[in-house]
Each structure stands twice: as C-alpha cells, then as structure tokens.
Amino acid sequence: MQYSNIFVIIFFVSSFLNFLLEMILEFVDFSFRKKHGMEIPDEVKGLIDESTLKKTCAYENVKYKFWIPRFVLMFVLELYLIIAGFYPAVFETVCTWSGNSIVVNLLYIFFTSIPTAILAIPFNLYSTFGIEKQFGFCKQTFRMWIVDSIKSILVTFVIALPLLAIACALFKYCPNLWWLFLGATYVVFSLAISVIYPILIAPIFNKFTPLEEGELKTRLESLLQRCGFKSSGLFVMDASKRSGHSNAYFTGFGKSKRVVLYDTLIAQLTPEEIEAVLGHELGHYKHHHIVKRMCIMIPLIFAVLFAESIFIKMPELYEGFGFQILTNENGDVSYKMMMVGTIFSATIFGGLAPLASLVTNHMSRRDEFQADAFSAKVCKKGAPLISALIKLNKENLSEIQVAKVYSAFKYSHPPLLERIEAIKETEK
C-alpha cells in the first residue's frame, strides 16, 4: 500500500466520511423516532392508533440496532481486504491460471466477492427469519430462501457474463473508445432486459395470474383507458408466499408493459383505493418520469465511463493498492487489467455516493408528488389515495414522519405526512 498515493487518499477519506455520515444519519433518525415516534398528528388521528405506532417504533429500532454491527463489520472487512492486499493477490493468482482476459476477470470478480458474501449470509438470514418473521412479514421457508438465492445468482451470472465478455473485448480492440461503445451497449442491454423481464425473469421467482373479473378489474381497465395507457394485461403476483409487504408497479417496455398488483395489496385495500394507487403509477407514465430519468442517466453513464477510461490508464490507480501492473507492447496498462481498474475506480469513489443520493432523492420525491397529484385529479378526489397511503404505511410499519435531513439522504419517496398535505393542497 502506498498511503501517499492520491487514489489511496481519496479512498480512505471518502470511506471514513461516508462511514461517519451514515452513522450520524441513522442516529438522527433513531433520536427523532425516540422523541416523536409516538405522536399522532392531526392528519392521521383516528386512522392510526398508539399500538400501531408502538409496533412501528419497535420494528424500526430493532432494524437500527441490527444495522449497526452489520454496517461496522462490512466497513472493517472492506478496509482489511484493501490494506492486506487481498485484491492484488487474487488478481496475480488467477492470472497464473489463465491467459484469457474474460476468464481472468470473471474469476477475479467471483473470488473477490466471496468475503463480503460470506459475511452477509448470517445477517441476511437473521433479517429475514428473525426481524421480518418477528413482526409478521416473513412468510417464506428456509428452503425457499435458498432456492431464491441460487436463482438470483444464476440470473445475475447469465445477465452479467455477456456484458463482461463485451467489456473485455472492447478493452482489447477499442482501448481508447471502449467507454463509448460500452455505454451504448449497456443502454441497449438495459432496454432489452426491461422488455424480457416480465416475460422471462420475473416468473422465475413469482407466479403471475391475470386479475379476475369483477369491480376491481372494471375500475382499473376504465382508468387505464382514460389515461391512454396500453398494457399487455393486469396481473396479480403471489407476493404473500414470501412477505407481508405490499406494492403495485408497472413493468416491461413497449408491448411487454404490464400492471402488477401484489396479492397482499388486494387483500389490504378497497377497489377504490387500489384504483387511486394505480392512478399514482399512471402519473409517472403521463408525466414521462421514466423517460426524463433516462435522459439524465444515459449521459451520466457515458460521463462516468469516460472518467473511468482516464483513471484505468493511470499506473497510480494500481500501484497505490499493491497491484503489479501488466503492460502491453507500448508500455500502457494491459487490457487484462482494465476491468480491475474499472471496478477499483468505482470502489475508490464509492464513498461519495451519499452526495449523489441527495440529488436523485430530490428528483424522485418531486416525481412522487406529481404522481400523487395526477392520481387525485384522474380519480376526481384525493381521499382514496390518502386512505390507501395510510393503510399501506400501517401494514408495512413505516414511519409517519422522519427528520428532514434523514429524509433528504435516505428517502426516495416523501414521508406520509408530506404526501397527505400535498394531496390535500392539490384538491384545493
């Protein structure tokens, strides 16, 4: 390790600042909940009782106390692996096994992910079968958890392997413009995944059945027609076999678009309330939130990849962390190391992620307010959406109000009270 290396300095400074920020934010949330968690604001009086608030506080407090050791141990492990030279050692080892860049990078990614994956297993198990089961959310068996984990690994492998192969080929044959072609490939690949996800990937984990005939289907089809939204159908997902949490969403792209309702959502809300929830989702569609987000994210992807294309050619990026640099005939960093450099540059600057979350969360909350307002207008009243949000808040044991600073960094959706106030303002 070269502790005077600029990349090493950036990594340690950003990592420690991120650690302190996360610890402070979670403590602020805990302190705010301790002081205001049992308060029943006027907006929800008679709709949320003290027993619900008590259970919500207990749920959030247990998650907070569980989060601390997990976060600290993950942080310590990351620092230890960096300082101990684990990553250079793995790379040098896999290079002796194969000369193929795809094989080398695939093995490198696999072996370097093992320590954190092993550490995460007991925490994931306790979170699922301890905390979530204690508060009535976890419905799945241990066998189902194992099967889901294996499926997730296989799906990730199938999706990631072609991208890895393309990236390695571009590093070799387009060393100067790889970032441009890889960015374009990633965008096309993402759009393709959004098309095939509802048809091929989602059914691997859940069963989707067409929504039965009745008042709910009639309401929702009428709403879709009024909004000019064409989909491949309304489907119910068997979410209850794994969790008691509820949701509704759009998935797919183009002709593969479909509306998905959790069966837990149907059990918890009235048809009028579900119509209001769907109206909210349609608000995202009518306001072109996904398209607008893509117009921001796509240039950002290219910008990040371009920055990485500069960093991964710098010997300092590798030398600072103990790597023995492989070079080509021109003396430049070999294409075999470029994937390692790309991964490492993301690790080095990963501590700056909370700053990006401030911007993305602000944009997301703005979109949520717009979608709420659209639902209130298209359904001709906001009361059903308000009652739906309160019910979902109760069923999911979500906090009614949180500290502003915590919301800014952590909440992609506005807290319940802010949404209620905004919906009522829209009605006026």
Per-residue confidence of the chain (428 residues) as pLDDT tens digits?
788 888 899 999 999 999 999 999 999 999 999 999 898 888 888 888 899 999 999 999 999 999 999 999 999 999 999 999 999 999 999 988 988 888 888 899 899 999 999 999 999 999 999 999 899 888 888 999 999 999 999 998 888 889 888 998 898 888 889 999 999 999 999 888 888 888 888 888 888 898 888 888 899 888 888 888 877 778 888 888 888 777 777 776 666 677 888 888 888 889 999 999 999 988 988 888 888 988 999 999 999 999 988 988 888 888 888 888 877 777 777 888 888 888 888 888 887 888 888 999 999 999 999 999 999 998 888 899 999 999 988 888 899 989 999 999 999 999 999 999 999 988 77
Q: Strand 208-210 to strand 258-262: parallel, antiparallel, or no bridges (unpaired)?
A: unpaired
CB 401 within 8 A of CB 36: yes
Residue 340: count of CB within 10 angstroms of its CB: 25
Tokens coding 205? 């984990």
Residue 138 pairs in a beta bridge with 243
Q: Residue holding tokens 């699922």? A: 128
Cα angle 179-183-189, degrees, rounded to a multiple of 5: 145
CA–CA separation, 29 vs 210, rounded Å?
41
Q: Which of 285, 276, 240, 288 is nearest to 258 (CA)?
A: 285
The enclosing H or E element of 42 equals none
CA–CA separation, 126 vs 27, rounded Å?
22
